[in-house]
Structure 1
Amino acid sequence: MDYDAIILGAGGAGLLAAALAGQAGGRVLVLDHADKPGKKILISGGGRCNFTNTGTEPDCFLSENPHFAKSALSRYTQWDFLALVEAHRISWHEKTLGQLFCDGSARQIVAMLLDECAKGGVEIRLSTEIGEIGHADGLFGVAGKTAPQLVIATGGPSIPKMGATGIAYDIARRFGLDVVTPRPALVPLTLGEGDRAFRDISGVSCPVTARVGGTTFAEAALFTHRGLSGPAILQVSSYWSPGDAVVLNVAPGALDALREARRKMPRAHLKAALSELLPKRLAEVLSDRIGLAQELGNTSDAELARVSEGLTALTFHPTGTEGYAKAEVTAGGISTEALSSSTMEARNVPGLYAIGEAVDVTGWLGGYNFQWAWSSAAAAAGAIAERSRR
């Protein structure tokens, strides 16, 4: 036995799990095929890393088992990670909706995690291919090294240009763990030719309430040359399936605003009224789509109600998503049915753990997925340390 635990993946979850297990006395090795640790951390949050969210609650996560994340999230909270950030004297600021960012650079979070790993005597080997994983006599064998505990922290296939792959699922299946079908999440949606007018106003954004089924988010939407993006769209994309409608309310209180416009400028046309409520290019597209030809003064309440519905229930049927290349995270993954919610250990394979994005737990946009990485890492690290002491 060379180590107490081998951790596959030098991302956020893998590094924190290694640091905590190492500081608790475990001999830990981290392996990653990348040439640098924490690559996804470095590009996150526009380079400033949205490292957690003050509003983190289990309801902010998707999973086939919506209760699975509760244990880990309650035992290593956003406040625990923030305390670590502050202990390293990393200055931070809060943006909208509880999102916490570094004042400086995401590199500070990577440096913090590496410093914590060094405190725990963790060995990190980069540019190392995992290859075949052996398992015999209670030991896992990887890249010529052995340990009684193995942690899958390799993430999902989102952002493949950073070297992301679906290797976590291959490893899980190798050990008999089920995998919930992975799919891109927090991802822009594409629109077809029938909505080309909206694609032609690429770059226009406005605050909206976006809805898919019974799920709504009130943030900004962005029209792109391929379809829809922006925070509100990324949020609902995690709940979207092919065939689902995406409904936008682009003008709350539209009916009252239109009635007021009719009173103030009865000779104006719809485009002029909408330009008071929305970006001009969007107002032009919507006025053409709604098709109200007469002056506002000659428009009935019933006609204004129809116009209002076109603004408060603007409906699209996306043709798809922009895929893993543009997805911030991967939904689905290693089934939570195979794992202990308190330790992240596989129920039927003692010593095997899965944490972070590799698991079927997906957070909202805004630091929630990082918090899941930290919380699940801490859960696994505690179990690793306890087993190492036996």
Structure 2
Amino acid sequence: MTHWDAIVIGAGAAGMMCAFEAGRRGKRVLLLDHGEKPGRKILISGGGRANFTNTGTTAANYLSENPHFAKSALARFTPRDMIALVEKHGLRYHEKTLGQQFFDNSARELVTLLERECGDAGVITRCGVSILSVSKDGDDFVVESSQGTERARALVIATGGLSIPKLGATGFGYNLARQFGHSIIDTRAALVPLVFLPEDRDAWCDLTGTSAEVVVKVDAPSNKRNVKVPAFREKALITHRGLSGPAILQISSYWRPGQNISLDLAPGQEVFTPITQHNTPRDLSMLRAALRTALSQRLADRWLRLNEERIRFTNQALIEMEKELHAWAVRPAGDEGYEKAEVTAGGVDTNELNASTMESKRAPGLYFIGEVVDVTGWLGGYNFQWAWASAVAAGRSL
């Protein structure tokens, strides 16, 4: 049995970052993961190119029961700091849109970067390790695993959430948090496609692959604190079961079962109201031509066909149609679940963690970082930035 300064469980983005940050400071660090290789979820991120940060990151880009919790860590390790690390390794990257930073080549470069930093910092990494039990013995944590027993003064949980179970996601981190007296904010799938009710599926899903730029919002407050939910202007995509695309993934993190979402199908455009200003003959072909200026032909024609029985050509009717076009109400039947979710919302209650160090207030020496914590970012590199920032906060305090 070896005695370590710190044991980090979870060799993903947060775990590797925390391990080498501590190792750089002379700490003896053991990094464990139940997967056969580190960084498996990193490899599929950003379409295989790893959207590794976002230059516009602020605490406002995160969901949490405590919306201020993320501020401290985010301020101490910024997107600029992460970009500097990438540049140190000579890796090429680019900004895709809205501050999103991607590698030019492959997400594999990010995993390699983290592995090299761990190696240079003297971190011992062991993969394919099953954790059998964790206990406290005096000031030490005792980790019993399939490869033996280890002790450490500090234990860092970086095991992520429940999203994408095929890559090995489990509830280990939440269960361990409960073991040491922590509360868990209810978890749910986030950044996840939404599923239509049967009647909407019949009406729309033969248009799978059709997309439009929309503004989407939740029609009602999504939480007991009545926190204002943002609207997102990005692409929405019709799938074989419902809706996806960046706009839908974003709003899914705020949506709750039983709520409607509202989609503006022609943001910033007037489609039907200009017709009221002309005395030319009005018919369905005129409406179709007008709508095709805002939407793809297939989507425009379907929208008109589904509303055909209610179409009238009076000025008032055209004004009402304009309103409906900018507020298509959809009540999702549900979402695609953790299998398709990019992240897990909810997690270890931040009121029980030190915001500067990520250390437990209930069990000294125990730390929680990354996705396992109740801090969930928007789509676009924000969750990676939280992984880096929370990992550095913990790594520097070990």
Shorter chain as denominator, the TM-score bin is over 0.9
Which residue is 2:255 aligned to? Answer: 240
CA deviation vs aligned residue, 1:217-244 (integer Å, no higher than 9, x gap): 0000001111010000000000000111
Q: For the Cα contact (< 8 Å) 1:221–1:233, is it kept in 2?
A: yes
Amino acid at match of 2:207: I
Distance (whole Å) between structure 2 residues aligned to residue 360 and residue 252 of structure 1: 33
TM superposition shift of 1:256: 5.0
Could you say if the C-alpha distance between residues 276 and 258 of structure 1 is closer, same or farther in structure 2, counting changes exceeding 3 Å?
Answer: farther
Q: For the Cα contact (< 8 Å) 1:255–1:305, is it kept in 2?
A: no
Distance (whole Å) between structure 2 residues aligned to residue 122 and residue 27 of structure 1: 7
Which residue is 2:226 aligned to? Answer: none
Q: How does 1:187-226 map to 2 (within 5 A)?
A: 187-196=192-201, 197-212=203-218, 213=220, 214-226=229-241
1:181 aligns with 2:186: yes
Q: For the Cα contact (< 8 Å) 2:185–2:349, is it kept in 1?
A: yes
How high is the sequence identity, in percent, across the aligned residues? 52
Could you say if the C-alpha distance between residues 48 and 253 of structure 1 is closer, same or farther in structure 2, counting changes exceeding 3 Å?
Answer: closer
Could you say if the C-alpha distance between residues 261 and 35 of structure 1 is closer, same or farther in structure 2, counting changes exceeding 3 Å?
Answer: farther
1:167 aligns with 2:172: yes
Q: For the Cα contact (< 8 Å) 1:58–1:69, is it kept in 2?
A: yes
Amino acid at match of 1:284: D
Q: For the Cα contact (< 8 Å) 1:53–1:78, is it kept in 2?
A: yes
Distance (whole Å) between structure 1 residues aligned to residue 63 and residue 374 of structure 2: 8
Could you say if the C-alpha distance between residues 161 and 243 of structure 1 is closer, same or farther in structure 2, counting changes exceeding 3 Å?
Answer: same
Indicate the SS of the match to 2:251.
helix
CA deviation vs aligned residue, 1:86-143 (integer Å, no higher than 9, x gap): 0000100001110000001111111111111111100000000011112111111112
Q: For the Cα contact (< 8 Å) 2:14–2:370, is it kept in 1?
A: yes
Which residue is 1:153 aligned to? Answer: 158
Which residue is 1:312 aligned to? Answer: 326
Which residue is 1:259 aligned to? Answer: 274
Which residue is 1:288 aligned to? Answer: 305
Indicate the SS of the match to 1:200.
helix
Q: For the Cα contact (< 8 Å) 2:236–2:243, is it kept in 1?
A: yes
Q: For the Cα contact (< 8 Å) 1:332–1:362, is it kept in 2?
A: yes
Distance (whole Å) between structure 1 residues aligned to residue 289 and residue 305 of structure 2: 12
Unaligned runs of 5+ in 2: 221-228
Amino acid at match of 1:199: C
TM superposition shift of 1:337: 1.2
TM superposition shift of 1:272: 3.3
- Of residues 291, 305, 315 in structure 2, which corresponds to 1:301? 315
Amino acid at match of 1:303: A
Amino acid at match of 1:286: W
TM superposition shift of 1:260: 4.5
Distance (whole Å) between structure 2 residues aligned to residue 340 and residue 256 of structure 1: 52
Indicate the SS of the match to 1:240.
coil
Q: For the Cα contact (< 8 Å) 1:207–1:250, is it kept in 2?
A: yes
Which residue is 1:96 aligned to? Answer: 97
Q: For the Cα contact (< 8 Å) 1:188–1:230, is it kept in 2?
A: yes
- Of residues 361, 365, 372 in structure 2, which corresponds to 1:358? 372
1:250 aligns with 2:265: yes
Q: For the Cα contact (< 8 Å) 2:272–2:321, is it kept in 1?
A: no
Distance (whole Å) between structure 1 residues aligned to residue 81 and residue 187 of structure 2: 30
1:332 aligns with 2:346: yes
Higher deviation after alignment, 113-122 or 194-203: 194-203
Which residue is 1:388 aligned to? Answer: none
Indicate the SS of the match to 2:131.
coil
Indicate the SS of the match to 1:18.
helix
Distance (whole Å) between structure 2 residues aligned to residue 261 and residue 274 of structure 1: 14
Aligned length: 381
Which residue is 1:116 aligned to? Answer: 117
Amino acid at match of 2:15: G
Indicate the SS of the match to 2:44.
helix
Distance (whole Å) between structure 1 residues aligned to residue 30 and residue 36 of structure 2: 16
TM superposition shift of 1:159: 0.5
Indicate the SS of the match to 2:27.
coil
TM superposition shift of 1:257: 5.0
Distance (whole Å) between structure 2 residues aligned to residue 265 and residue 374 of structure 1: 61
Distance (whole Å) between structure 1 residues aligned to residue 265 and residue 192 of structure 2: 20
Q: For the Cα contact (< 8 Å) 2:194–2:334, is it kept in 1?
A: yes
Distance (whole Å) between structure 2 residues aligned to residue 265 and residue 273 of structure 1: 14
Q: For the Cα contact (< 8 Å) 2:38–2:127, is it kept in 1?
A: yes
Q: For the Cα contact (< 8 Å) 1:259–1:304, is it kept in 2?
A: no
1:278 aligns with 2:278: no
Q: For the Cα contact (< 8 Å) 1:200–1:225, is it kept in 2?
A: yes
Indicate the SS of the match to 2:116.
helix
TM superposition shift of 1:293: 7.1
Q: For the Cα contact (< 8 Å) 1:9–1:154, is it kept in 2?
A: yes
TM superposition shift of 1:277: 1.8
Distance (whole Å) between structure 2 residues aligned to residue 46 and residue 256 of structure 1: 35
Query: If the length of structure 1 is used for normalisation, what is the TM-score?
Result: 0.94
Indicate the SS of the match to 2:321.
helix
Distance (whole Å) between structure 1 residues aligned to residue 332 and residue 307 of structure 2: 20
Q: For the Cα contact (< 8 Å) 2:271–2:294, is it kept in 1?
A: no
Spell out structure 1 runs of 4+ moving beyond 6 A. none
Distance (whole Å) between structure 2 residues aligned to residue 195 and residue 322 of structure 1: 16
